Amino acid sequence: MNQSAYDVIVVGAGIVGAACADEFAARGMRVLIVDREVVGSGATAAGMGHIVVMDDSDAQFALTRYSQQLWQALRPQLAEDVEYEQCGTIWAAADEEEMAEVQRKNEYYASRGVPTQVLDAKALQQFEPNLRSGMEGGLLVPEDAVLYPPCAARFLIGRAQQRGATLRLGASAVQTGHGQVGLSDGAQMSAALIVIAAGASSSELIPGIEIKKRKGHLVITDRYPGFLRHQLVELGYLKSAHSVTSDSVAFNVQPRQTGQILIGSSRQYGAEHRDVDHDILTRMLQRARLYMPALGSLSAVRTWTGFRAATPDKLPLIGPWPPDKSLFLATGHEGLGITTSLATARILVDQIAGSHPQIPVEPYLPSRTAKECAHA
Amino acid sequence: MPSPVSVVVNGKPVSVPSGTTVAVAMMIAGHTCRTSVTGEPRGPFCGMGICFECRAVVNGIPHSRSCQILCESGMDVRTDE
Amino acid sequence: MSSAHSFDVLVIGAGPAGIAAAVRAAERGVRVGIVDDNSTLGGQIWRGGSDQQDESASKWRERLRDAAVFTLPGKRVFDQPVAGVLLAESDHELCELRYKNLVVATGARERFLPFPGWTLPNVLGAGGLQAMVKQGLPIRGKRVVVAGTGPLLLAVAAYLRKHGAQVPVLCEQAPWSRLAGFATALVSEPTKISQALRLTGELAGVSFAANSWPLAAHGQNQLETVTISRSGKSQDIPCDYLACGFHLVPNIELPLLLGCRIHEGFVHVDDLQQTSISNIFCAGEPTAIGGVDLALAEGQIAGLAASGHAASAQLFRQRERARRFARVLDRTFRLRDELKHLPSPETFVCRCEDVPFSRLRNHASWRAAKLHTRCGMGPCQGRICGPASEFLFNWRPDSVRPPIFPVRVENLAALDDSQRLAIPFATGDAYARPNMK
């Protein structure tokens, strides 16, 4: 008898894998989640936990907006340690050119039903007194939020487990495909469906998946309640996220519910080691101090790094992996894993279950990247 | 005998011998240094500047480790109660 | 505001090991600097108390004064951005320290174990309360229970008594049998006999209880009573302070950051006190908890080696003798299993983030616990809760990242490569006389 104990095996217990497991379990499927470390220990542990609607492309907007609304709906059920806080995002404009971008963004969001508020220089100063003077203004997106990702992942896994999902930690997947997952401790499992949600490690598991590691740095301070009220991002962030080849830093700070300030952000290609890169760290912090001089006197308690999973077209891979009928991808989320995790799970499971996804899924299908895929 | 030093703890003057740390001045004045994240009163613990329990706002600077700061005349000390 | 200095031999930590290393190296004519995070030199053991002075300490202080050692008190090392360059922060200044050879003599800190009520105000470490008294805390007429483990308890109890405190009991968790072995070892060491005799005198009237440990501290907003376990029975003792510490753990954060090999929680060194990195030496408590004698022997050998000189056979013999004592210390003051059961489910293990024992128990590793409860993510960077968690749960600690001590953002951001080269170095005539009270 060849009956598998599971309908689906989710490889990766980060925020995306957790969301997928939760979704599959909610639809009555028998789920196994495997992870080589602990829940939420990869990019999920390293990221900022920012839930943000983005407008780089219509596809990015659709996914982030859908997912942000799912988070909002989920909020009342979230455990306290998820620390969900709807503090909103302010996109800060340093000059007239960036202010024009504020107007463009405002029109884009407003026409799609996302509440926004344009802030002039005075309003911006009032909202965020620690920002340097002389800023042009900004765009407030009040429905954006922040949370603490490892606990969010754990919450979602917990819900899946309550519906019978199994969690297996401490062994990495060494081969996946054709309905089989082999782990480093020798275990072999089978399921009709295997979901690869392994973030920056996905391309190690499945050669042919085009995912590159994009390293980031973060610094967290001691508690300074009231220092910062919203997630603050410079509009130059977009220039940084757009660049595909060079190392870049951008001003991006977040108030944690604890009152600690999270300071970012940086992006590097080709950096494989986890060590803090001092030059990048310095540049990142100096840029942050340009925007918020008062940051300089705060106490920095920890620094860390992480690897985002970046795809060539900056959109995630969500859907079937053509070379192998049993494989599905839910990976490549770059800096938007937290935001888009819930929608990723929805549209993935919709595709599998044959229900109609709420947004068009074509932009995220792995088949879009299939060039010469080796046949199984 | 070196002259005593007067610091202000939560608005009230406290006179201590020269060479006293801010942490001790707070203990003498009967104040705890800080409130923990769940609301417990906390005072100095390790005495060597590594536990961060003795933090207070000294001359406007939050998170100052008071066991590492010598009292200076006129210093303003606020605990977070 | 920044400064930069360059040394042939840079010593981190100005306790006995560091001072011995700096003196020996400087007496050989190389350019030596010594850094300490405290504004007064001497380390936990020798700092701030002429009443603590024995002959050895005075002799070394004098040698330090006479040697041409550049002292940098009040500076806390937090990072090594490139090999050979350390960054240190003082109140409002950033200091860049370049070295050819480094001696790490960062000492040890007390180990704290959680039990109900340990976070109450007026419950302090044993060394912690002693430090408060040195910092001016009036203790005359106060009742202090001293508890935990290790020879530090005796020194603290004696010190407190000398300053007029009442010590109703000293609770040592080690069993009598092991303590008897320790006493024998003391007797075989000449210098220790006199130390022991002096202590015996100072401790007359203190009830010494082996097989004894704190069960709970009680009080409304501060300590009022301590419940201790004494030979299986519990006893309530009203008191003003509880001075409680469970021996020492080495400060290995800097060697870890630098990439030195660590073996069973201590820095691995060869016969010349050299670590796995050829220009980095380590002496004193970070290699083994062994007290002043071992620190002095290791410090001298390290200082000589770092300046390219051999140590005498006598020094090696001194070190070997001191190492035997260190092994006795380790055996005697091992923590008993009962201490793992002291915390109640609500007892906070992580004081920075108020994480209770019940939440930590469910996690399989230090990393998982950190991620999901924030234990160890506070400003103490796990210095308090780390050793406790290691003992309670057998968790192995993980790696360190800069800053190894909280530091102002502006100092973490201070220097990139181009700026670093632009700072002129302090010149030789800036050697100052060491500041040691």
Q: Is C138's Cβ below 8 Å from some Cβ in B?
A: yes
Q: What is the pLDDT of residues C186-217, one digit of tens each?
A: 777 666 666 666 666 667 778 999 999 999 99
pLDDT (0 to 100) of residue B3: 87
- Estimate to the nearest angstrom the gap between the alpha carbon of A53 and the chain centroid: 12
Mutation for testing the A interface, residue in B51, B55, B58, B63 having most A CBs under 10 Å: B63
pLDDT (0 to 100) of residue C44: 84
What is chain A's mean pLDDT, rounded? 94
Q: What is the pLDDT of residues C374-395, one digit of tens each?
A: 999 999 999 999 999 999 999 9
Q: Mean pLDDT over residues A16-28, rounded?
A: 98
Q: Is B46's Cβ below 8 Å from some Cβ in C?
A: yes
pLDDT (0 to 100) of residue A4: 83
Q: Is A293's Cβ below 8 Å from some Cβ in C?
A: no
Q: Is B41's Cβ below 8 Å from some Cβ in C?
A: yes
Q: Is C96's Cβ below 8 Å from some Cβ in B?
A: no
More confident residue, C55 or A147: A147
Q: State whether C379 and A222 contact (CB < 8 Å).
A: yes
Instruction: Indicate whether C177 pLDDT > 70.
Output: yes
Confidence of residue C51 (pLDDT cuts 50, 70, 90): very low
Q: State whether A38 and C365 contact (CB < 8 Å).
A: yes
pLDDT (0 to 100) of residue C413: 84
Cα distances (angstroms) measured from residue A198 to each of A58, A137, A153, A320, B50: 25, 39, 14, 15, 38
Q: What is the pLDDT of residues A155-179, one digit of tens each?
A: 999 999 999 999 999 999 999 999 9
Q: What is the pLDDT of residues A271-288, one digit of tens each?
A: 999 999 999 999 999 999
Q: Mean pLDDT over residues C150-165, rounded?
A: 94
Chains that touch C (3 or more CB pairs under 8 A): A, B
Q: Mean pLDDT over residues A31-52, rounded?
A: 97
Q: What percent of chain A has pLDDT over 90?
A: 92
pLDDT (0 to 100) of residue C398: 80
Tell me which of B6-20, C29-43, C296-310, C419-433 is least confident: C419-433
Of the candidates A307, A285, A87, the one whose C-alpha atom is nearest the C-alpha of residue A203 is: A307
pLDDT (0 to 100) of residue A141: 98
Of the candidates C34, C56, C35, the one whose C-alpha atom is nearest the C-alpha of residue C45 is: C56
Residues from chain B that touch A227, judged by Cβ atoms under 8 A, are none
Q: What percent of chain A has pLDDT over 70?
A: 95
- Closest-CA distance of chain B to residue A118, Å: 33
Q: What is the pLDDT of residues A91-136, one digit of tens each?
A: 999 999 999 999 999 999 999 999 999 999 999 999 999 999 999 9
CB contacts < 8 A (B, C)? 100
The owner of tokens 């299986």 is: C232
Indicate the residue of B38, B67, B68 with minimum beta-carbon distance to C354: B38
Q: Is B37's Cβ below 8 Å from some Cβ in C?
A: yes
- Closest-CA distance of chain B to residue A258, Å: 8
- Closest-CA distance of chain B to residue A156, Å: 26
The answer to whether C245 and C171 are in contact (CB under 8 A) is no
Residues from chain A that touch C364, judged by Cβ atoms under 8 A, are 38, 169-170
Q: State whether C135 and B16 contact (CB < 8 Å).
A: no
Q: State whether B53 and C351 contact (CB < 8 Å).
A: yes
pLDDT (0 to 100) of residue C419: 53
Q: State whether A38 and C371 contact (CB < 8 Å).
A: yes
Residues from chain B that touch C127, judged by Cβ atoms under 8 A, are 46-48
Confidence of residue A330 (pLDDT cuts 50, 70, 90): very high
Strand A145-146 relative to strand A50-51: parallel, antiparallel, unpaired? antiparallel
Instruction: Indicate whether A264 pLDDT > 50.
Output: yes
Indicate the residue of A150, A170, A289 with minimum beta-carbon distance to C413: A289
The answer to whether C323 and C288 are in contact (CB under 8 A) is yes
- Closest-CA residue of C relative to A301 is C406
Residues from chain C that touch A45, judged by Cβ atoms under 8 A, are 371
pLDDT (0 to 100) of residue C435: 33
Confidence of residue A239 (pLDDT cuts 50, 70, 90): low
Residue A320 pairs in a beta bridge with: A328
Residues from chain A that touch C363, judged by Cβ atoms under 8 A, are 38
- Closest-CA residue of B relative to A223 is B63
What is chain C's mean pLDDT, rounded? 90
Q: State whether B63 and A258 contact (CB < 8 Å).
A: no
Q: What is the mean pLDDT of each successive set of 10 residues along chain B, which is 81 residues long?
A: 89 95 95 95 96 96 95 93 52
Residues from chain B that touch A222, judged by Cβ atoms under 8 A, are 62-63
AA identity, residue C189: E
Q: Encoding tokens for residue C134?
A: 């040195």
pLDDT (0 to 100) of residue C55: 82
Q: How large is the C-alpha radius of gyration of chain C?
A: 22
AA identity, residue A349: V
Contacts of C336 (CB under 8 A, 6+ apart): C173, C174, C175
Q: Cα–Cα distance between A279 and A272 in angstroms, integer? A: 16
Q: State whether C124 and B47 contact (CB < 8 Å).
A: yes
Indicate the residue of A263, A279, A302 with minimum beta-carbon distance to C377: A302
Q: Mean pLDDT over residues A319-338, rounded?
A: 97
Q: Cα–Cα distance between C371 and C360 in angstroms, integer? A: 11
- Closest-CA distance of chain A to residue B62, Å: 8
> In b/e form, how buried is each residue of C373-398, taking b as 16+ CB within 10 angstroms?
bbbbbbbbbbbbbbbbbbbbbebebe
Q: Mean pLDDT over residues C298-302, rounded?
A: 98
- Closest-CA residue of B relative to A258 is B37
E strand residue ranges, C239-398: 241-246, 248-250, 262-263, 266-267, 280-282, 348-350, 355-356
Mutation for testing the B interface, residue in C46, C77, C132 having most B CBs under 10 Å: C132
Chains that touch B (3 or more CB pairs under 8 A): A, C
Q: State whether B37 and A299 contact (CB < 8 Å).
A: no
pLDDT (0 to 100) of residue C199: 67
Of the candidates B53, A244, A63, A56, the one whose C-alpha atom is nearest the C-alpha of residue C132 is: B53
- Closest-CA distance of chain A to residue C62, Å: 37
Q: What is the pLDDT of residues C261-272, one digit of tens each?
A: 999 999 999 999
Tell me which of A254-268, B38-52, C101-115, C405-419 is least confident: C405-419
Q: Which H/E stretch holds residue C171?
A: strand C170-172
Q: Does the ipTM exceed 0.85?
A: yes
pTM as predicted: 0.93
pLDDT (0 to 100) of residue B47: 95
Confidence of residue C415 (pLDDT cuts 50, 70, 90): low
Q: State whether B37 and A222 contact (CB < 8 Å).
A: no
Can you spell out the DSSP letters for C72-127?
Answer: EET-EEEEEEETTEEEEE-SS-EEEEEEEEEEE---EEE-----TTTTSTTEE-HH
pLDDT (0 to 100) of residue A375: 46
Q: Cα–Cα distance between A143 and A88 in angstroms, integer? A: 5
